[in-house]
A and B are shown apart, each in its own frame.
Chain A
Amino acid sequence: MKKKKRLATASLAGCFGCHMSLLDMDERLLEVLEHVEFDRSPLMDFKGFRQRCDIGLIEGGCCNEDNVHVLRQFRENCDVLVAIGQCAIMGGLPVMRNAIMHADDPLRECLEEAYNESPRVLNPGNHIPNDPALPLLLDKVYTCSEVVHIDFQIPGCPPSGDTLYQVLMALATGKKPEFSYGMIKYD
């Protein structure tokens, strides 16, 4: 039997919706699994790479140092790196915080707004979380292709199970992914 492609996935600054969409492939997951086997992935709960992978799927952009670290690990360990979903491609919802980036102190302003100043926040101690276990935030949200070289993108919020299935099958069988009209969605 032909050797299966190794697949790794990660969710960075995203909502896990794209990973949920992977599950939306439903019974076709079994078909996909005939061609690929999972390495590092939240679906498998492997925390690190076990060996070099053929395909890496990245959901979400980079909003903190850990995202950058994981993304770089993926780039180092995967032959083909695929950004899936709008957050990975153009920042998605998290990138809205960049709308204040021209302030002198954008990150402070972002945190103040989120934890203190927004009229819908109740935070009597004006406490802004800063546990040493929390990764440091970046000055702004970066798209995946701003941080590392990305080979393919699958747009959508999230991309549908159908789209993921077709692109994954193409990659698993060594073809260049093609997108028919209905497969391109930015929402």
Chain B
Amino acid sequence: MDNTDSVAVKEACARFDFDPKRLLDILWQVQDVNRCVDANALTDIAQATGLPRVSVDGVASFYHFYSSRPKGRFAIYLCDDIVDRQHGFNDLLAVLRDELGIAPGQITADGLFSVDLTPCIGLCDQPPGLLVNQYIAGSLTPAKLRRLLQDLKKDSHPGSSFTQGGEGQNGNSLIQTRLKNNIRRRGAILGSGQLTESGLQNASELSSFEILETLRASGLRGRGGAGYPVWQKLDTAFRQITADKVVICNADEGEPGTFKDRVLLTEQPDLVFEGMTIAARATGASQGILYLRAEYRYLEAWLEERLAQRRAEGLLGSHICGTEGFNFDIRIQRGAGAYICGEESALIRSCEGGRGEPTSRPPYPAIQGYKGLPTTVNNVETFCCIARIFEIGATAFARLGTPQSTGTKLFSVSGDCRKPGVYEFPFGLTVRELLNHCQADDAAAVVVGGPSGQIIGRNEFDRRLCFEDLATAGAFVVFNSTRNILEIVRAYIQFFVDESCGYCTPCRVGNVFLLERMDKIIAGKGETTDIDYLRQLADTIIETSRCGLGHTSPRPILSTLANFPLVYAALLKAPNAGSQPGFDIQKALDEARHLAHRGSTLYDRDYSGGVS
């Protein structure tokens, strides 16, 4: 074994004080230096942190971006989201095969490049996209990808055409991308001119009660999708009598088709931190964590710089805004590739260095969360709303939107439309209105809220985007009439199969069965009875799963069965009481024909007994 590996592991452990709760950070450093977390590293980390080796193995094997086998010096992760697949993904795959001679899952002989596929990286408004180490690139073409590979070969660095020239802060030397923000419409959150960024200053003069009362009056509900009243979450944590409390910002934006948190973290990071600080003021928390999805690690240096700046300005740290006893600081926890960590209890576990599996409730995180402390977890956008409420006032905020869905909402619009990007609107606009704004002329289906939301058709376009009607965390993916609905459904079920944590039986196994049956239907071997099969299976998965992933994973199927029944009906045959259409005798015999050098007396029509 190479000695430097072991040294790197020890250094990584020492850097995080051999703290088992920082296992994700330790594993990241090992992965970065050694390009893998191999069996020896597991043993070394276990020794250094005092964790059982199998537990280190359990965490390392849980996350997508830790690898037991070496990745290339340039680890390329090509986004295989359905939107990317429809916008040039295959061309990029061909370039990678052509230039590097490898397919996904492989590494070049010289160890320079590895290629893997990865679910949505938050660039659906500028597809196709990919990650290379800490870099990110979108709007790629085969020519651009060739240039990127040449840059990497020649200079060990993506050239300036990939790391400079991004819109707004995307071009910042700490972010180093050429990404676009594509902000198409601004409102109270994204700011349209007259905002003063005074929320924290205003809130620092209020008591916890006053802050909670303001939030209650604002009617603010969580922007993560479930729509839980924000003041109640904070109130529960506030009522706990403990030495300390925690505020966590969920920046694990993993729902395929959403990217507005990426834009907020790029353009409005201070607003996010401000909202977190106000939440901390409300609950009495001194610890803050921003859980940043691994795909957004390119934003880490920028966010760290903003945090440092806020500390320097007295907006974080001790006696914030000069208020005695208002102490709060924020650290960034980088995720490692797991959609399930968007679930708050899984996210907390992940922050604690564990496998990102949801925990049983009770206890609720607001009572017993991170390291056993009362913990409030909110979405990036929610924290921005909190900050704005203390700037424009609860009444002004509540005046926006609908009675049950106050304020504005950011929509991540992508797919088949001429103006993809981020749209901020007061809650309550119709799907059709948003389609008009993004110039989707031939919309046949819209995925509202991502795979865990609903796939709706034209007859539902007058529904309103708000908690009273179509609740959504913000993803809005448009598909035109040339797209294959079943392929979209299949891609989303595959996503859930890949992202299920595997904790509970129905989600771990049931989603695999759903996928198998979708494949059968897409292959033209489906029978009308398969619809009942899908519905019954979906029922058990939804009813008996432990967390939100299983409660929502069958939705792509159920919502398309409801909204696009003809798409299924066109492919299904009446059940044949005899043969099972899924069984293919010719395929089952191919290998034997080859091995035996003869054909089948029963199933080859032209059988002559000789070599087939």
Q: Do A and B interact directly, with beta carbons closer than 8 Å?
A: yes
Residues of A within 8 A of B (CB): 65-66, 68-69, 72, 75-76, 105-108, 111, 130, 132, 135-140, 142, 145-149
Residues on the B chain within 8 Å of A146, using CB: 580, 582-583
Cβ of A145: which chain B residues have Cβ within 8 Å of it? 580
B312 proximal to A (CB < 8 A): no
| Contact in complex: B589, A65 (CB < 8 Å) | yes
Residues of chain B within 8 A of A148, CB atoms compared: 578-580
Contact of B596 among A66, A130, A147 (CB under 8 A): A130
Given A76-B578, A111-B595, A149-B580, A66 contacting B602 (CB threshold 8 A):
yes
B579, B588, B590, B595: residue with the most chain A Cβ atoms closer than 10 Å = B588
* A65–B603 touching, CB < 8 Å: yes
A139-B598 in contact (CB<8A): no
Q: Is B1 an interface residue (CB 8 A)?
A: no
**Contact of A136 with B585 at beta-carbon distance under 8 Å, contacts A72-B579, A75-B578, A148-B578 already known:** no
A111 to B598, alpha carbons, bound, how many Å?
Answer: 16
| 15 examples of A-B residue contacts, CB within 8 angstroms | A65-B589, A65-B602, A66-B602, A69-B602, A72-B578, A75-B578, A107-B595, A108-B595, A111-B595, A132-B609, A136-B598, A147-B583, A148-B579, A149-B577, A149-B578
Within 8 Å by CB of A136, from B578, B596, B609, lies: B596
Q: Are A132 and B598 in contact (CB under 8 A)?
A: yes
Apart from A65-B589, A130-B596, A138-B588: 6 A-B pairs, beta carbons within 8 A:
A68-B588, A75-B578, A76-B578, A136-B596, A138-B592, A147-B583
Q: How distant is B196 from chain A, measured CB to nearest CB, in Å?
A: 62
Q: How far is the CA of A132 from the CA of B332 in the complex (A)?
A: 69
What chain B residues lie within 8 Å of A105 (beta carbons)?
591
Q: Per-residue 0/1 for B512-555: is the Cβ within 8 Å of any A Cβ (1 yes, 0 no)?
A: 00000000000000000000000000000000000000000000
Asked if B361 is at the interface of the complex by the 8 Å CB criterion, the answer is no
Which residues of A have CB within 8 Å of B86?
none
CB distance from B576 to the nearest CB of A (A): 8
**Contact partners of A65 in chain B: CB under 8 A:** 585, 589, 592, 600, 602-603
Residue of A nearest to B590 (CB): A139
B154 proximal to A (CB < 8 A):
no
Question: Considering only CB atoms, which chain A residue lies closest to B588 in the complex?
Answer: A138
Name the A residues within 8 Å of B591 (CB-CB).
105-108, 139
Determine if B593 is an interface residue (Cβ-Cβ < 8 Å): yes
The 8 closest A-B pairs by CB, nearest first: A136-B592, A138-B588, A107-B591, A137-B592, A75-B578, A147-B583, A139-B591, A69-B602
Is A139 in contact with B602, judged by CB distance below 8 angstroms? no
B587 at interface by CB-CB < 8 Å: yes
Q: How far is the CB of B186 from chain A (nearest CB, A)?
A: 53
Residues B589 and A75 in contact, CB atoms below 8 Å apart: no
Q: What are the residues of chain B within 8 A of A75 when measuring CB–CB?
A: 578-579
Interface positions of B from 565 to 586, Cβ below 8 Å from A = 575-580, 582-583, 585
Residue numbers in B under 8 Å from A130 (CB-CB): 596-598
Specify which chain A residues have a CB less than 8 angstroms from the CB of B587 in the assembled complex: 139
How far, in angstroms, from A105 to B591 measured CA to CA in the complex? 8
CB distance from A101 to the nearest CB of B (A): 11
* Nearest CB of A to B347, in Å: 34
Within 8 Å CB of B602, what residues of A?
Answer: 65-66, 68-69, 135
CA distance A106 to B579 in the complex (A): 25
Taking a contact as CB atoms under 8 Å apart, the answer to whether B589 and A138 are in contact is yes
**Please, which residues of chain A bring their CB within 8 A of the CB of B601?**
135
Complex Cα gap A76–B592 (Å): 26
Q: Knowing A66-B602, A139-B587 touch, does A107 contact B592 (C-beta < 8 A)?
A: yes
B580 contacts A136, CB within 8 Å? Answer: no
- B578 contacts which chain A residues (CB < 8 A)? 72, 75-76, 148-149
Q: B585 → chain A, closest Cβ, in Å?
A: 6
Please name the residue on chain A nearest to B585 by beta carbon: A68
When C-beta atoms are compared, the residue in chain B nearest to A71 turns out to be B579
CB of A65, distance to nearest CB on chain B (Å): 5
Which residues in B have their C-beta under 8 angstroms from that of A76?
578
Could you say which of B575, B592, B596 contacts A139, with CB atoms under 8 Å apart?
B592
